[in-house]
Structure 1
Amino acid sequence: MDKQQLANKIWESANKLRSKIEANEYKDYILGFMFYKFLSQKEEELLSTQYQIAKTEYKSVLLESNIELCDAIRDDLYYFIPYNHLFSTWIQDGNQLDVGRVQDALNSFERLLNDQYNRIYKGIFDTLQLGLTKLGDNSGTQSKAIQQLISLIDEIPMGDSQDYDVLGFVYEYLISNFAANAGKKAGEFYTPHEVSVLMSEIVAHHLQGQNEISIYDPTSGSGSLLINIGKSIEKYKKDKNSIKYYAQELKEATYNLTRMNLIMRNIQPSNIMVRNADTLEDDWPYFDEADPQQTYNPLYLDAVVSNPPYSQHWEPKGKENDPRYSRFGLAPATKADYAFLLHDLYHLRPNGIMTIVLPHGVLFRGDSEGEIRKALIDNNHIDAIIGLPANIFFGTSIPTIIMVLRQKRENQDVLVIDASEYFVKANKNNKLQSSDIRRIVDAYCKRETLPGYCTVVSRDEIIGNDYNLNIPRYVNTSKNDEIYDIYGIVHGGIPYSEIEKLSPYWSVFEGLDKEIFKQGQDGYYSLVEGDVAKIVHDYPAVNEFTDSLGSKINQYIEYVSQSVIDDFKVGMDETVWHILSAELFEQFSNIPLIDTYDIYQIMSDNWSKITLDIDKMGHNGKALVASVEPNMVMKKKNNKQVEVQDGWKGAIVPFGLVQELYLQNELSNLTHIDNELEAIEEQIAELAEAVPMDYQDMEFLNDDRTGFVKTPLNAAVKVYKDEPELYPLLKAVKDLYAEETKLKKRQKEAVAELADATKYRIENLTDEQIDELLYQHWIIPAINELNAYSKKVINDFVQCLSALANKYGTSLQSIDNDIRVVEQELITSLRELESNDDMGISALLELLGAK
């Protein structure tokens, strides 16, 4: 299930439950039941794979009284769910499931936990359990609401099989659509996926050489930041279990969500350390209170990431000697931004790295914040500042930054990146594309000045600016004002300075400028007469460029095809894309006139679609291409929208692609019938227009007079059989409708036959045909987009030439000449009328200087 399908399901369920559940509480039920389903499925998976217990035996053996099995499962999973409380049992029971059973299940879960990991699971369903009684006025209405929720949850995918953070996406969707509170959305608890990925890639690049890694989010929210860092680090590491996750969250419901999300990512409980506490008031304990002497261990980590609440109030009083703040000073009570930053920095190991999202104000605000900023710069902690687009977070449109800090650094400068103009619109918010993220990460890793995008700023320059880090001081992203050459505007002609601005093109298309522009006597230029676009497209150097780029595209596509089809492996992951993208930059980085990040975006979008298929293939691998699945659609039944099967569809490749490749004759036959039906419709429409005016109010014509109504038409054929003006027309229409009926029957049969033939063909595909279909389905769309991009490079150049011609195409002198001609024509006409001795005409002539 992709994101859009999942969003539609949630919206549909929400509408059904709108009268029973408060909008801002809806997420608690969805997320809680999602997690319960995940735990239940984990237990069933353990029973079938490790214990070899058949599903038919669950009812008789999966009992609390079966102490041996119960204890074994608790040792493996740290919890035990009896058969009666399994999520699958709830689904089987359907309308028999009641609120009492669910409450019993949640109580049972808590009671049967393994004490070893109580800290991970204990109280995790408290938010859900407290909310069950709010689902209705009595147990009956509560039970019905639960049944509807369970039915929805049954369709939501779980685990790592999706290419996105399912729980995080659901949380984001619910927050953005339902969790409005007093007009303000609660989006501060969720870091958009793209920002998480950006921060994660920076951290992962820094930590890629380490074997054991610990990461910490002191304001963890849904846990999305930690999860994405884990995924980014896994690209460089084979053992995902070498990462330890630390998280702290103030709100209990969101703290529970952090735990759920980490567990659902199959992270070992021993690698999960989560606290429900106020980060600023109650720092992470250095010891287990039950054994303080043996467990004393200051918390220093390899990476700290956070997206704390912006500029919230806090209590600095009495914290002057707090080791987190004593070196730098205290943030003001009205703005805790630097308090969170210093907390994060304190917990970094000497070679660690931290990334934190903050409002722009931390870069330039004065007083105590200015002093803290000065101390951070003087102590060489600030590594980079990344300006993000505005309106990128839920609940706030204020511009934000990511600040990267280190405890120990060799370089003494600060990298300032202004990425505020790199985004796409996504509904009401702005969104970073994968190419935007990659551009930022590359700039951070290469640490070079790129005019208009990023600047490596020396500490001396920052000190010279009084420790002000405001991004526009260091990166100039302002667009140059349009400059007009006055002589060219007055007398016509393009100045050479304008042509020179296109020098990147002239250096590649050597000599083309002389073919396109001709120089006038005054040293100004004009475009040659004729089709300039054709001159450009026919020019040898342009063709050499497009051929060379096309060759590079083909070479890279062949490498991609080899990697994802010929060398296909079950369980291919992001490591493959990591290799493919590295090859992409190797192939395209030195090609002039193109932006390699545009190529990257095209391939990234296509890779996202490919990974959906790869994830779906699972352990079946490419064999799943040779299978079909029910095509489920929503249809109205008894005034309700229900999901029903409407034929079949390919599990991986669409029916249409199979038909185009292997069933051309059958497809051509159906197309022929479709064309015949279309021709009949056109003939009927023409005959409707040809009905004589005297008969256009008759019942046999439809309301807009573009067609006929069959029953009145049949009657009219009999009534008007003696009307030579009308009868032949009506008879022709009746015959056409009869032919249409026959064709529609043939069409229905042909559609059914083609569907059956397609299903049979898919289920009997050879290995070679599977590879051919995957190439058409995965690779051809990328080839088409890359070739279109190649054409766009040349078309953009032609557009520049056209714009230049338009800019200086009409001179003021020619306009003045035109005005003079019109004036003379007007004067001549007025003088012809002057004999009438009209004072008005005389006044006009005087105004025109012709009196």
Structure 2
Amino acid sequence: MALKKSDLYSSVWKSADELRGGMDASQYKDYVLTLLFVKYVSDKAKSDPYSLIEVPEGGSFDDLVALKGATDIGEKMNIAIRRLAEANDLQGVINNADFDDPNKLGEGKAMQDRLTNLVSIFQDIDFTGSRAEGDDLLGDAYEYLMRHFATESGKSKGQFYTPAEVSRIMAQVLEIPKDAPRSTTVYDPTCGSGSLLIKVADSAPNGLSIYGQEKDNATWALSRMNMILHGNETHNIQQGDTLADPKFLKGEQLQTFDYFVANPPFSVKTWKNGFDKEYGRFDGFAEPPEKNGDYAFLLHMVKSLKSDGRGAVILPHGVLFRGNTEAQIREELIKRGLIKAIIGLPANLFYGTGIPACIIVIDKKEATSRTGIFMIDASKGFEKDGAKNRLRPRDMRKIIDTYLAGEEVERYARMVPLSEISDTKNNYNLNIPRYIDTSEPEDIQDLEAHLKGGIPNRDLDALGEYWDAFPNLRDELFRPLREGYSELTVEPDQVAKVIEESEDVKTFTSTVSKAVEDWWSSHRGQLEAIDSQTRPQELIEDLGDDLLEKFRGRPLISEYSVYEQLMSYWNDTMHDDVTLIVGAGWVEAAQPREARITGYDNKKKPKYEVADLVFGTGVKAQRWVTDLIPPALIIDRYFAEEKAELDRLTAEQERISQELQEYIEEHVVEEGLLWEAVNDDGGVKVGDARKRLKEARAEAAEAEEIAALNHVVKLFTAETAAKKAIKEAISELDKKILATYVKLGETEVCDLVIGEKWSGVIRSKIDTSIHSIVQALIRRTETAGGRYRSTLDSLQSEADKLQSEVKAHLEKMGVI
């Protein structure tokens, strides 16, 4: 069975759990990532005789497995990993973590058990086919760990990781040609764990020549491992302080590169420590302020860029508007035409800081002829993800599409002329809100409408996007009242009914559904052709690009909201499904597998992953997991009659249970017919009823009590029989379901997965988007209709009426 992304993630994160308590996240990541590295290169060496990583005798993961349970496991693991490091010139890279440290791993038996469990977790993962699957599962797992470690490391130690979503945007804004040769260079002077560089290299079909420098030694080691795990064995990542000791030189000058990307530490106050040589980085510019290193890093990158090069850097928003020396540097950059674009990002995206940041795109190629700076304000497009914010697929795609098109989007993007930036009002201030107003139009109250009633036509005109999509609906809902004002044609509580039953809405829904159907049908052949050569990332790019095109320009429904539905399902489920099919084939991927043991309880009993089909109980139970085709699809396709019978049995059991509950509640009151059968909990169970029935008969109790007890015992018996019938029906149905999986051919599997599972969920998600649009119109129409419903005259009349009624009551009471 192929390796699923979610299974890999679960396993590697579980390995981190084995180390919790002994150290913080910034430390235990070194242990986990080291083992991930050793396991991967060992598996790769077995399957690839041309692997660039040599796995020596005594330095493989199998050698670590052989140490499980040994009293000196920590010491021997250190030796094995050191052998691997020495064979590949990776000393100080993969052997930094001390597996024999009792302060972090415990002493004696505690260390022995912890390391044995840690090795066992990775032992069950097989990486031999990960590259053949055409998808970077391992790299994604490494990044998954990085994100979690960064989250848990806190502000001071989480800066080694740039969120993958931001990295993908930066890779695209560089606009690297598809035919760029592998000799094309990309440079990151503050490369951290290297993920940003890797994303850029992955965006070039032929790959790129990677150069990077990282100050922190442990993070430098992470980046070296990251490169190898992502298949970039040939790279040049140096360790040292870029500003004080740049490693990439050409004689006495800085080496230059075709592209750069960077996410330098924000506003470093100690950037001048050890800084004794400028290397021409500040030629023509003011020297950056001593207590803020943002522009020091930026000017280093500008100097390290070839005359026709392009780069993208993440910096805090302050660089766009801070004054004094930084204002002088900013003005000179603008005058030289070096800044091509600025993309404002949401706050709280980055680990180590919550402040908002921006991407600044530097482009030397057309600098002299540049007449404007393209600005995007993407600060409002995100979702909450725990304590941080995160860009959604729709947010990333909208930024990239808008940037590449270079077209103005209202309240989102525009090309700002340099003449506007340099005028006396702005004076080279690049703060994005100066040039793009993202605020929503104010909701204006109409005084005349409050006085005389009616809905201002301008409020209805503001809903123009809805009337474009539903051309007849405005006339169905509103009619003229007087010049400039309208009124509802229906009562406010009928608005929802009129809109939902409108032919325009039905036509719109049908049109969208037809577009989705056409899009899905056009890719049916491509999906059926998924095999071992399929690259999942290319597949989803094809699907996503075409879906965007199908919905681009349609009224009311955003192509990005539809795209988000596809991508969220891809990330949650479909990518795992495709990975399984690529690795095992359609038929094999559809077969149930035995549930895996996920751990053990305090009594050493195994705990299993959630199973879809279970036969028996306890440790002897058979537990089956159906990764690709859920049992519900098998039932709907092949066992409709059995399902109908099961539904009938369930309904009958629920009827009996309800009748039993109601009967008990009716007669457990004090002195009621079942009062003598009430237990200490205030209820009646079958044992209580039978015991009291026996006593009542012996006591020759009243016939009504005996009859009631007989009836309640009968209901209990009927309920038990009904539950037993359901359990037997479920068991029989489950047996039939399990037997059916074995009989499925490739055609049936394709039809179930593509035609029902994938298609059904995606359609349902897009239908939800349509429903949200309709509900939004209902709310806005009800608001418009209700806001001016009570005029000043009607309110005055109501007040007069109430005053008269109060006066009348007071007169009757003799008060006045």
Same fold by TM-score greater than 0.5: yes
Q: Which residue pairs with 1:37 in the alignment? A: 39
CA-CA distance at 1:543 after TM superposition: 4.0
* Partners of 1:493 and 1:808 within 8 A in 2: yes
AA aligned to 1:252 is N
Do residues 123 (structure 1) and 92 (structure 2) align?
yes
> C-alpha displacement at 1:217, in angstroms?
1.8
1:260 is matched with 225
Does the CA-based 8 Å contact 1:175-1:187 persist in structure 2?
A: yes
Letter of the aligned partner of 1:196 in structure 2? S
- From 478, 482, 490, give the equivalent of 1:517: 478
**Partner amino acid, structure 1, of 2:262:** S
CA positional deviation for 1:438: 0.8
Deviation string, structure 1 residues 383-418 (Cα, Å, up to 9, x no partner): 111111111122321111111111222532101111
> Bigger shift: 720-729 or 766-775?
720-729
Closer, same or farther: CA 297–780 of 1 in aligned 2, 3 Å: farther
Cα drift, residue 741 of structure 1: 4.1
Q: Is the 8 A contact 1:95 1:144 kept in 2?
A: yes
2:589 counterpart of 1:615: no
Name the amino acid aligned to 1:572: R
Deviation at residue 16 of structure 1 after TM alignment: 5.2
- Residue 134 of structure 1: which of 103, 121, 137 is its match? 103
Tell me the secondary structure at the aligned position of residue 369 of structure 1. Answer: helix
Check the 8 A contact 1:506/1:512 in 2, yes or no. yes
Residue in 2 that maps onto 1:497: 458
1:576 alignment partner, one of 539, 547, 563: 539
CA offsets, 1:653-672, max 9 Å, x none? 11222122112233334333
The answer as to 2:526 corresponding to 1:563 is: yes
Q: Which amino acid aligns with 1:605?
A: S
Aligned to 1:789: 769
Match of 2:375 in 1: 416
What SS does the corresponding residue of 2:711 show, helix, strand or coil?
Answer: helix
Instruction: Determine which of 130, 140, 144 is the counterpart of 1:169.
Output: 144
1:209 deviation in Å? Answer: 4.1
* Corresponding residue of 1:846: none
Q: Aligned match of 1:662 in 629, 635, 638?
A: 638
**Secondary structure at 1:466's aligned position in 2?**
coil
On the 8 A contact 2:371/2:417 being kept in 1, the answer is yes
Whether the aligned pair in 1 keeps the contact of 2:82 and 2:95 (CA below 8 Å) is no
- What residue number does 1:682 align with? 658
Correspondent of 1:819 among 799, 802, 810: 799
Give the corresponding residue for 2:746: 767
CA contact (8 A) 2:243 2:300 kept: yes
User: How far is the alpha carbon of 1:740 from its aligned partner?
Assistant: 4.1
2:296 is aligned to 339
**Contact 2:288 2:296 (8 Å CA) reproduced:** yes
Alpha-carbon deviation of 1:569? 6.3
Deviations 1:550-572 (A, max 9, x none): 32222112123333235666423
Bigger fraction of residues in helix: 1
CA contact (8 A) 2:212 2:237 kept: yes
The farther-off stretch of 689-698 and 716-725 is 689-698
Instruction: In structure 1, list runs of 5 or more residues that go unmatched.
Output: 51-74, 835-840, 843-851
Shift in Å at residue 423 of structure 1?
Answer: 0.9
Please give the alpha-carbon distance, in whole angstroms, between the structure 2 residues aligned to 1:635 and 1:256.
31
Contact 2:161 2:192 in 1 (8 A): yes
Alignment match of 1:327 (pick from 281, 284, 290): 284
Q: Residues 735 and 652 of structure 1: is their aligned pair in 2 closer, same or farther, counting only changes over 3 Å?
A: same
| Cα distance in structure 2, aligned partners of 1:163 and 1:661 | 36
The structural deviation recorded for 1:22 is: 4.1
Letter of the 1:768 counterpart:
T
Partner of 2:613: none
- Once the two structures are superposed, the pairs formed by residues 25-424 of structure 1 within 5 Å of their partners are 25-46=27-48, 50=49, 76-82=51-57, 84-91=58-65, 94-96=68-70, 98-113=73-88, 118=89, 121-129=90-98, 132-136=101-105, 138-154=107-123, 160=135, 162=137, 165-177=140-152, 179-180=153-154, 184-203=155-174, 205-212=175-182, 213-233=184-204, 237=205, 239=206, 242-267=207-232, 269-270=233-234, 272-286=235-249, 299-313=255-269, 314-315=271-272, 321-409=278-366, 410-424=369-383
Give the Cα–Cα distance (whole angstroms) in 1 for the partners of residues 181 and 26 of structure 2: 42
Contact 2:188/2:211 (8 A) holds in 1: yes
Deviation (angstroms), 1:128: 1.1
Q: Aligned residue pairs: how many? A: 781
Cα displacement (A) at 1:734: 3.0
Tell me which residue corresponds to 2:440: 479
For 2:98, what is the secondary structure of its paired residue?
helix
Distance 2:490 2:87 in 1: 87
Query: Residue deviations 1:695-723, cap 9 Å, x none?
Result: 68979545554x53444443223112233
Q: CA deviation at 1:597?
A: 0.9
- In structure 2, relative to structure 1, the CA distance for the partners of 1:625 and 1:22 (3 Å cut) is closer
Question: Following the alignment from structure 1 to structure 2, what is the Cα–Cα distance between the partners of residues 85 and 702?
Answer: 68
Shift of 1:437: 0.7
Contact 1:188 1:395 in 2 (8 A): yes
Offset of residue 278 of structure 1: 0.9
In structure 2, relative to structure 1, the CA distance for the partners of 1:539 and 1:752 (3 Å cut) is closer
AA matched with 1:518: R
**2:404 aligned partner, one-letter code:** C
Letter in 1 for 2:575: T
Shift of 1:320: 6.8
Q: After superposition, give the CA deviation of every residue in 1:717-774 in whole Å (9 maximum; x if it has no partner).
A: 3112233233333333333444444444444443333223222211211222112111
How big is the alpha-carbon RMSD for the aligned residues of Structure 1 and Structure 2?
Answer: 2.9
Please state how far the C-alpha of 1:440 moved relative to its aligned partner: 0.7
Q: Structure 1 stretch 215-224 or stretch 413-422: which is displaced more?
A: 215-224
Structure 1 pair 298–509 and aligned structure 2 pair: CA distance change class (3 A): same
Give the 3 Å change call, closer, same or farther, for CA 324–672 of structure 1 in structure 2: same
Question: Aligned to 1:720, what secondary structure does the other structure show?
Answer: helix
TM-aligned CA distance change 1:826 to 1:306, over 3 Å: same
Provide the C-alpha distance between the structure 2 equivalents of 1:365 and 1:790, rounded to a whole number of angstroms. Answer: 44
Residues 15/589 of structure 1: CA separation in 2 closer, same or farther (3 Å cut) = closer
CA apart distance, 1:540: 4.3
Name the aligned partner's letter for residue 377 of structure 1: I
User: Which secondary structure does the structure 1 equivalent of 2:306 belong to?
Assistant: strand
More moved, 386-395 vs 751-760:
751-760
Q: Helix, strand or coil for the counterpart of 2:352?
A: coil
Partner SS state of residue 414, structure 1: strand
After superposition, give the CA deviation of every residue in 1:800-848 in whole Å (9 maximum; x if it has no partner): 21111012122222111100111112222223344xxxxxx45xxxxxx
Deviations 1:485-513 (A, max 9, x none): 10101121112222222233334443443
- Equivalents in 2 of 1:243, 1:487: separation in Å? 66
Contact 1:687 1:729 in 2 (8 A): no
Other structure's SS at 1:142 match: helix
Q: Equivalents in 1 of 2:569, 2:85: separation in Å?
A: 44
Counterparts of 1:130 and 1:94 in 2: how far apart (Å)? 13
Partner residue, 1:53:
none
TM-score by length of structure 1 reads: 0.85
Q: CA 1:89 to 1:709, structure 2 compared with 1: closer, same or farther past 3 Å? A: farther
Q: Secondary structure at the match of 1:647?
A: strand
**Paired residue for 1:647?**
623
Q: Secondary structure at the match of 2:227?
A: helix
Structure 2 counterpart SS, 1:443: helix
2:591 is matched with: 627
* Distance change in 2, residues 1:396/1:637 (3 Å): closer
2:439 aligned with 1:437: no
**Shift of residue 532, structure 1, vs aligned partner:** 3.5
Quote the offset at 1:131 in angstroms. 6.6
1:671 & 1:206 partners in 2: Cα distance? Answer: 58
1:68 matched residue in structure 2? none
